[in-house]
Each structure stands twice: as C-alpha cells, then as structure tokens.
Amino acid sequence: MSEHLAQRAAALDAADELAGARKLFALDDAVYLDGNSLGALPAHVPDRVADVVRRQWGELRIRSWDESGWWTAPERIGDRIASLVGAAPGQIVVGDSTSVNVFKAVVGAVRLQDDPARTDVLVDATTFPTDGYIAESAARMTGRRIVPVDPADLVSVIGPSTAAVLLNHVDYRSGRLHDLPALTAAIHDAGALAVWDLCHSAGALPVGLDEHGVDLAVGCTYKYLNGGPGSPAYIYVAERHQAAFDSPLPGWNSHTDPFAMTPGFEPADGAVRGRVGTPDILSMLALEASLDVWDGVSVDAVRAKSLALTDFFLECVETYVPQGRVTCLTPGKHAERGSQIALRCEDAPRVMRELITRGVIGDLRRPDVLRFGFTPLYVGFADVERAARVLSEVLAEA
Ligand SMILES: *Cc1c(COP(=O)(O)O)cnc(C)c1O
C-alpha cells in the first residue's frame, strides 16, 4: 500500500509545475508543514538583508531614505502584495502588526459608517484571539458593542444595527475557508461594511478583494508570504473609501506632507493614509526581498496545488492511520478548505513532539489539534506521503 502511494507521490511531483520553486528556499530534509505559522526562508534573503544593513544603512546612512527607496517602501511593497490578493495598486500599505491593523480597520469601518443607529460590530466567534480582543476595544472606543457570530449564522444575525463585520477568510484552527464573496455581499445587503482578515489565505489561494467589493482587509506576511518572523502586516482600504477613511492612528507618516512638520493633521490621499510612524525598514526590506519568489507564479496554480496536496494528505492518512484514531476538522469540500489540515487526536501533544523529532514539522493547538500547513511553493507530494506515514507510525506506538 505504502509503495503504491509513494509511487503516486513521485508521479505527482514529476508533473508539478511549481516543483522548481522549492530550490528557492533554505530547507533541510525535514518535512516543513508549519508555513501557516512561519513561512520558510527564501534562500536569497540573507544576502539582501546584509546589503540593506552594510551598504544602505552602513554606507549611505540617511541618504537611503531617498536613494534606497526606504521612505516609499510601505506603499511599494503594498502594491506587490496587492497583486497576490486581487487588488489594484494604490490600496494596500505595509506596516505595523496585524493586531494594530485590525484596530485601524475596525475603527476605520465604524467611522466610515458614521451611523449611530448601527450599534453592533460583528466578529467571527472562533477568531484568532487577537482580532477579537482588539475589535472589542475598538468597539468600546467607538461606542459600539461586539456581537460574536459564527460565520455560518451571519445572515440571520446581521441587520440594520450592524455597523461592520470582522471575519477571517480561513479559520486558523480548523483550516475552514469562508465564502468571502457571498458573505461580503450579505454584509453589503445589510448596509454594513466588511473587514476581512487574510492571515491564512494570502499567498495560499486567490482572494479577489476588488472583484468581491471588500471594504477593508488586513493580513500578516510571515505565514504563506514567507516575509520572516514578525515581518510587517498590511491594510487594504478600497479606493472608494480612501477619501473618507479616518485612521484612529494618524501619525506623521499618514500626513499629506510629513516633512512640513505642521501641528495640524492633514491626511495623505490614498493608501498612504493607513501608515502611522517610521517604517521598520529591516523587516520590511526582508519582506520585499522574500516576495521575489512570487515572480512568474500564478496564485491559481498555487491554489490548485494546495488542494491537490491536502487531498493527497487526507488520502494517505485514511490509508495509513487506523480508522477512528484521528478526526479531521478541516472540511472535505474544496470550496470550504484553506491550505491546512487540522486533525484532532488523543494525546496530541505527545504525537506532535514525536513527529517533530522524526522530521515532520507541524504544530499543536491545545488541547488536541494537530495542524499541518501546506505551502505549495516548497511542499511536495513525497513530503505529504512521508508525513502521513510517520504520523501513522507515531500513532501506532501510543
Ligand atoms: C497570525 C494571525 C494574527 C497575528 O497577529 P500579529 O499581530 O501578527 O501577532 C492575527 N490574526 C489572525 C487571524 C492570524 O492568523
């Protein structure tokens, strides 16, 4: 049986149009299935960062704000991310963490709405905690209240008192993909604004921000975008909202003429309004370098491979692992699946520790969920077969 699946894996790898991308990354023989938490290092990034430090900072010093393009990096890199999430240029800026951008986006959405009768901010009840914490504070500061909602029940909860809705495109725990086009349309039908968190979808599947009329969005860059630990996040403000977007964090970088150093705040036009203070250049330029791995890559091809990888993983797990030993929390339907598989199992902490010892790197969400992220640019089908085989060996030893 395992010979058959190993042969299938070899054939799938041989036919994989993205297989060549793996050599762009610094990887060893471990199977790295944690790119949904920290993407792998693109191999050329260390030299580029060394150049930023040695030459741009060390030699050019202050001149680099102009000559090395430091000052405009947030919007320049934003435009590169825009092409990966279906946004036209001029709508995304990079900077700050996802947490901070959730704050800007939720307060910004309520202020754009500017309707005191709309008292509620709906938030995905199963959200990654930081989004919920920040949204609660943003709601309190704007005199609104938070209403937790299961995205599946959104249509029955949303109504004339809804100001804005904050949802995750892909659930970080289960790997469930939510229907962004349909949910955005439902939010608009109710007269509310849609704020999407793309942390687990950007770089893994097509998002279509412009096409589906999303109002605001945020996301991180260190998961499927491989920007590096703590690399800066981004905020998308749809062009039609930019003139009225009233950031709760108006810094000098969001001013129309920062170097005028005037006491009164006059917001810049466009996405730049989403900036706050001096950009963290070292992290930001590491991110910019890392985005080179996307040159010539189609996000549709990434999505097709991602689904093929997760399908194959589920097939291998079903074949190798005794019935009932693990329960898959990730939906089987392609339309509802992100780029990770979450398996619930007894003794999950021990199982993940053992997997890591044997070179299969996933992660644990306490108490009992094993998460495996599949980054199509550097994970192959032989990796998938090996991961499922090692998992079955570890489970057999319990
Ligand atoms: C990864 C992730 C974050 C991380 O936020 P930070 O501010 O970068 O720590 C936030 N929200 C979601 C949904 C995530 O998946």
**Residue ending a domain, choose from 229, 262, 294:** 294
Greatest alpha-carbon pair distance for the chain in Å reads 72
Dihedral sign, Cα of residue 7, residue 8, residue 9, residue 11: positive
CB 310 within 8 A of CB 384: no
Residue 254 alpha carbon to ligand 1 centre in Å: 23
Phi, psi of 183 (to 5 degrees): -70, -40
99 within ligand 1 shell (Cβ under 6 A): yes
Can you read off the two tokens belonging to residue 83? 């092409």
Q: 22 and 148 share a domain?
A: no
Amino acid 147: pLDDT: 98
Specify whether 374 is catalytic: no
Whether 323 is in a domain gets the answer: yes
Query: Which residue range is the domain that position 253 belongs to?
Result: 71-294
Nearest atom of ligand 1 to the alpha carbon of 230? 8
102 strand-pairing partners: none
Whether 77 is in a domain gets the answer: yes
Amino acid 364: pLDDT: 97
Among 48, 45, 74, which residue's Cα sits nearest to residue 56? 48
98 within ligand 1 shell (Cβ under 6 A): yes
User: Among residues 103, 222, 224, 313, which one is catalytic?
Assistant: 222
Q: 161 and 222 share a domain?
A: yes
Phi, psi of 340 (to 5 degrees): -140, 160
**Residue ending a domain, choose from 242, 269, 294:** 294
Q: What is the domain-level CATH number for residue 271? A: 3.40.640.10
Dihedral sign, Cα of residue 70, residue 71, residue 72, residue 77: positive
Token pair 């890199």 in the structure block, residue: 77
344 strand-pairing partners: 327, 369
Q: 139 and 278 share a domain?
A: yes
Q: 331 and 391 share a domain?
A: yes
328 strand-pairing partners: 343
User: Among residues 16, 34, 124, 197, which one is catalytic?
Assistant: 197
Whether 65 is in a domain gets the answer: no
CB 341 within 8 A of CB 310: yes
Domains contained in the chain, number: 2
Whether 231 is in a domain gets the answer: yes
220 within ligand 1 shell (Cβ under 6 A): yes
Residue 219 alpha carbon to ligand 1 centre in Å: 7
Helix, strand or coil, per DSSP, at residue 45? helix
Amino acid 1: pLDDT: 60
Which residues, 6+ apart, have CB-to-CB distance to 341 below 8 Å?
A: 175, 310, 313, 314, 328, 330, 371, 372, 374
Can you read off the two tokens belonging to residue 159? 């109504």
**Residue ending a domain, choose from 294, 313, 339:** 294
Which residues, 6+ apart, have CB-to-CB distance to 116 below 8 Å?
A: 143
Amino acid 107: pLDDT: 98
Can you read off the two tokens belonging to residue 89? 């240029």
Ranges of residues in the chain whose predicted pLDDT is under 50: none
Specify whether 197 is catalytic: yes
Whether 227 is in a domain gets the answer: yes
Q: What is the domain-level CATH number for residue 390? A: 3.90.1150.10
Q: Residue 149, class by beta-carbon neighbours within 10 Å (0-12 exposed, 13-18 middle, 19+ buried)?
A: buried
Supply the pTM of this predicted model.
0.98
Q: 22 and 95 share a domain?
A: no
Strands (E), 198-329: 216-219, 234-237, 326-328
Q: 145 and 22 share a domain?
A: no
Dihedral angle over CA of 243, 249, 273, 237, nearest 10: -70
Q: 203 and 218 share a domain?
A: yes
Q: 278 and 134 share a domain?
A: yes
Nearest atom of ligand 1 to the alpha carbon of 128? 13
283 within ligand 1 shell (Cβ under 6 A): no
Whether 284 is in a domain gets the answer: yes
Pairing of strands 216-219, 234-237: antiparallel
Whether 221 is in a domain gets the answer: yes
Nearest atom of ligand 1 to the alpha carbon of 197? 13
Phi, psi of 326 (to 5 degrees): -130, 155
CB 371 within 8 A of CB 352: no
Peptide bond into 181 cis (omega under 30): no
Q: 254 and 358 share a domain?
A: no
Helices 299-320/2-14 angle, 10° precision = 170
Amino acid 301: pLDDT: 98
CB 171 within 8 A of CB 178: yes
String of DSSP letters for 111-175: HHH--TT--EEEEETT--HHHHHHHHHHHHHTT-EEEEE-GGGHHHH--TTEEEEEEESB-TTT-
Amino acid 2: pLDDT: 76
CB half-sphere exposure, 8, CA atoms < 13 A:
15
44 vs 284: CA distance, rounded Å:
15
Token pair 């704020």 in the structure block, residue: 195
Whether 66 is in a domain gets the answer: no
Whole-number Cα distances in Å, 43 to 28, 167, 293: 12, 34, 10
Q: 166 and 108 share a domain?
A: yes
Q: 279 and 306 share a domain?
A: no
Q: 248 and 357 share a domain?
A: no
